[in-house]
DNA sequence: TGAATAGTGTCTCTAAGACAATATAGC
DNA sequence: GCTATATTGTCTTAGAGACACTATTCA
């Protein structure tokens, strides 16, 4: 039918907010754009949806991360869709925004033109990328209150004190140790490993844990969260 | 540039899950399709994004509701975006799904071919509309736990017992009266009106309330919800 | 043994749910 | 007064945070 001909002029893209923890702060990956518009500016990794090859929008986001950032299989979740006539100078556009989490230990070597920026100190960004980053951070913080989301910022093996530090960095506030450990236990997503953490410490070593298989790509949630708001 | 020519074949649409409360049950508006594909089938109100006139995707959703269902200004929120090559037989498509809430009292007379169906007893639906409805209902239930969302299913004036009944119908479970009133008070979104509820009752009348101006299109949220599950 | 951090026991305090008392209408 | 529902008071209980004690390692 004539639908395609009648409504051909919507640009369909994906953008990805890739977050990691560096220097105890949430940081977002920005790439220097090589093409117009905004060539030379730092922006989120993004690109057109490829109707020929992408299985869906999240698949497009994964492809963008793989091709443009060298990131292989991070935790990836749809954030929201941004749209309108003005956000992209090329015309009426839709961006199906996603966010992704990756532990610093799994980051690939940075491509030329790729930089990490703390989400609290963003440079000027083209399109509506600033708003997209802000909504992604809000979403991550909100979900971290009551779910296992931040484990995806840890490597495969980690101790509870390490995981607590990750939660605190993401939430931006200290977390009660006893409550934290109760909550983690209640979420039932971790299993201890026999090897222990020995590190440089002149102190008691910490038990290493890993994510149970069942939670590899599913979040665990609990009714009530940690600090229920500053 | 050549972008539009390179990537023209993504259909960009919106679908709307319009929910109301009828007979103490959440019900969704379905329209009988008049055009292919799936002409004659019941489906969600939806349509193409009009790049010429729509301000953004939510504006497109509001237009679809207005034109196809006669609904003027309901509470409207973006749900998620569904995409892929198979969900629409016309080709690779994107649907920016929204949900809307409207009190039964404000429903317009039903157009020809429009029907309400309880969300627990959906008929077969084309596209991925069943999944869209299910995710909308999940979202509404989740947000109702800790926010003022269900007030948008009440008319302009209502009593606390009425509002509690709405919460219970949405959540599908009874709510503790004392906790409920404490929570509503804490949310600070309602103000009492001087007129009282007189109705048929051979009993004490209930105070009428209305939503404060500031919360007309903004939700009020609290850290911990009502029944936190099961 | 002392320092440092890991892990746990337990008390306190907040807030949700249960229960029931009181309030106010129509009859 | 009697019935029915609205509204409020207060007790119980679950769970989050504070505090501090014990455990274990290395120097």
Query: In the structure encoding, which two tokens stand for residue A210, read together?
Result: 């890993």
The model's pLDDT over B192-227, given as tens digits with 9 standing for 90+, comes to 998 777 777 888 999 999 999 999 889 999 876 665
CA dihedral B223, B224, B226, B230 (to 10 degrees): 130
Q: Minimum mean pLDDT among A157-161, A196-200, A206-210, B112-116: which range?
A: A196-200
For residue A227, what is the nearest residue in chain B, using CA coordinates?
B223
Confidence of residue A230 (pLDDT cuts 50, 70, 90): very low
At which residue do the structure tokens 């017992």 appear? B161
**Which residue of A lies nearest to B80 if distances are taken between CA atoms?**
A80
Q: Which positions in chain A touch B50 (Cβ < 8 Å)?
A: 7
| Architecture label for domain A10-144 | Alpha-Beta Complex (3.90)
Residues 44-103 of B with CB under 7 A from strand D: none
Per-position DSSP letters for chain B, written without gaps between them: -THHHHS---EEEEEEEEEEEETTEEEEEEEE--SSSSTTSEE--EEE--TTT-SSHHHHHHHHIIIII---S-EEEEEEEEEESSSSTTSSEEEEEEEEE--GGGPPPPPTTEEEEETTS----STTHHHHHHHHHHHHHHHHHHBSGGGGGS-SSEEHHHHHHHHHHHHTS---HHHHHHHHHHHT-EEEEEEE--SS-SSPPPEEEEE-GGGSSS--B-SS-SS---
What is the residue whose two structure tokens read 């309330």? B209
Under the banding of pLDDT at 50, 70 and 90, the label for residue A223 is confident
Predicted pLDDT of residue B227: 57
Q: How confident is the model at residue A200 (pLDDT cuts 50, 70, 90)?
A: confident
Q: Is B81 on the interface with A (CB under 8 A)?
A: yes
Which pLDDT score is estimated for A1?
39
Average pLDDT, chain A: 92
For domain A148-215, the CATH architecture is Orthogonal Bundle (1.10)
Cα separation, B34 vs A109, whole angstroms: 54
State how far the Cα of A135 lies from the Cα of A149, in Å rounded to an integer. 16
Assess whether pLDDT exceeds 60 at residue A202: yes
Q: Is the CB of B178 under 7 A from strand D?
A: yes
pLDDT for res B112: 86
- Judged against a pLDDT cut of 90, whether residue B4 lies above it is answered with no
Asked whether residue A164, judged by its CB, lies under 7 Å from any atom of the DNA or RNA strand C, the reply is: no
Residues B13-24: pLDDT tens digits?
999 999 999 999
Residue-wise pLDDT for A114-129, tens only, equals: 999 999 999 999 999 9
pLDDT at B194: 83
Whole-number pLDDT of residue B225: 65
Query: Residue A220: phi, psi to the nearest 5?
Result: -105, 135
Query: Phi, psi at residue A196, to the nearest 5°?
Result: -115, 165
pLDDT in tens, B151-192: 999 999 999 999 999 999 999 999 999 999 999 999 999 999
pLDDT at A127: 96
* Tens-place pLDDT, residues B95-112: 999 999 999 999 999 888
Q: Considering CB atoms only, which of A12, A224, A228 is closest to B94? A: A12
- Residues of chain B within CATH 1.10.10.10 domain(s) are 147-215
Q: Is the CB of B221 under 7 A from strand C?
A: no
Mean pLDDT of B138-151: 95
Say whether A84 and B55 touch across the interface (CB within 8 A): yes
Mean pLDDT of A13-17: 98
**Average pLDDT of the segment spanning B8-15:** 91
By the 10 Å C-beta count (0-12 exposed, 13-18 middle, 19+ buried), A101 is classed as buried
B105 touches strand C (CB under 7 A): no
> Does pLDDT of A198 surpass 80?
no
Identify the band that residue A8 occupies on the pLDDT scale cut at 50, 70 and 90.
Answer: low
**8 Å CB contact between B10 and B48:** no
**Overall fold of domain B147-215:** Arc Repressor Mutant, subunit A (1.10.10)
- Contact state of A51 with B91 under an 8 Å Cβ cutoff: yes
Say if the Cβ atoms of A81 and B57 lie within 8 Å: yes
Residue B8: band (very low, low, confident or very high) from pLDDT cuts 50, 70, 90: low
Q: Are A94 and B48 an interchain contact pair (Cβ–Cβ within 8 Å)?
A: no
Contact B12 A12 (CB under 8 A): yes
Interchain CB contact of B94 with A (< 8 Å): yes
* pLDDT tens-digit map of B115-133: 999 999 999 999 999 999 9
Whether residues B90 and A225 touch (CB distance < 8 A) is answered with no
Q: What is the pLDDT of residues B29-70, one digit of tens each?
A: 999 999 999 999 999 999 999 999 999 999 999 999 999 999
CATH 3.90.79.10 boundaries in chain A: 10-144
CATH class held by domain B3-144: alpha beta
Of A9, A50, A228, the CB nearest to B224: A228
Higher pLDDT, B98 or A8: B98
Q: Work out the pLDDT band at A222, boundaries 50, 70, 90.
A: confident
SS (H, E, C) A136-188: HHHHHHHHHHHECHHHHHCCCCEEHHHHHHHHHHHHCCCCCHHHHHHHHHHHC
Average pLDDT estimate for A81-93: 97
- How close B57 gets to chain A, by Cα (Å)? 6
């Amino acid at each position: 039918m004539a639908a395609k001909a009648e409504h051909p002029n919507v640009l369909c893209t994906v953008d990805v907010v890739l977050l990691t923890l560096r220097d105890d702060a949430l940081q977002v990956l920005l790439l220097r754009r090589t093409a117009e518009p905004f060539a030379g500016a730092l922006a989120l990794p993004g690109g057109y949806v490829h109707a020929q090859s992408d299985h869906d929008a999240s698949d497009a986001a994964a492809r963008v991360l793989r091709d443009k950032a060298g990131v292989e299989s991070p935790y990836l979740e749809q954030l929201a869709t941004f749209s309108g006539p003005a956000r992209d100078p090329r015309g009426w556009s839709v961006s199906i925004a996603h966010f992704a989490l990756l532990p610093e230990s799994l980051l690939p070597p940075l491509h030329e033109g790729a930089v990490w920026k703390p989400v609290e100190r963003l440079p000027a960004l083209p399109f509506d990328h600033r708003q997209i980053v802000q909504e992604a951070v809000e979403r991550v913080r909100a979900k971290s209150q009551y779910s296992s989301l931040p484990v995806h910022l840890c490597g495969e093996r980690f101790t509870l004190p390490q995981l607590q530090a990750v939660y605190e960095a993401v939430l931006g506030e200290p977390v009660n140790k006893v409550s934290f450990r109760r909550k983690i236990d209640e979420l039932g997503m971790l299993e201890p490993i026999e090897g222990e953490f020995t590190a440089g410490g002149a102190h008691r070593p910490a038990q290493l844990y890993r994510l149970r298989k069942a939670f590899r790509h599913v979040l665990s949630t609990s009714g009530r969260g940690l600090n229920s708001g500053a």
